[in-house]
Structure 1
Amino acid sequence: MFKRLFWMAAGFCCGVFTVMKAQAYVKANTPAPARQFLFGPDIDNVGLRTLQGMFREFNETRKTREAELNKQYADRLR
């Protein structure tokens, strides 16, 4: 159990490190128009914007599914 948890954590850390290094390399070695195309105009907050987008999409999906379930169970009671 602890071995599995350790290796999962180690893999996660390696993945985060690799992505950070790859983004730094791309930022340092690409022309400005290409960087803006890849990362958008706000290059410093790509991770934050990604998390906000994921959270927004999750909430929209959750609300849609909740409305579907409420309708389904409300129809059963009638």
Structure 2
Amino acid sequence: MFKRIVWIGVGVAIGVIAVSKAQAYVKANTPDKARQFLLGPDQENVAFRTLGGLIDEFNAARRTREDELNKRYIERAG
């Protein structure tokens, strides 16, 4: 079990490093118009916007599922 946690951590770390290096490469080697197309107008906060979007999407799916389960259990109890 401990080995799996270590390898998952290593994989996440490698993924974060790879993404940050790829974004740095894109910022350094592409024209401004292409960077704006790929990264958006706010190029400094791409990671925060992406993470925020993922969290918002997760919360929306969680709320939808929670409402569905609440309806099911209320109908079953009533």
Change (3 A) 1:8 1:76: closer
Partner SS for 1:76: helix
**What is the TM-score with the length of structure 2 in the denominator?**
0.87
Q: Which runs of 5+ in 2 are unaligned?
A: none
Q: Percent identity?
A: 60
Distance in 2, Cα, partners of 1:75 & 1:34: 53
**What is the TM-score with the length of structure 1 in the denominator?**
0.87
Aligned to 1:39: 39
Distance in 1, Cα, partners of 2:33 & 2:54: 26
Aligned to 1:24: 24
Q: Which runs of 5+ in 1 are unaligned?
A: none
- How much has 1:2 moved relative to structure 2? 4.0
Amino acid paired to 1:44: E
**Which segment drifts farther, 3-12 or 27-36?**
3-12
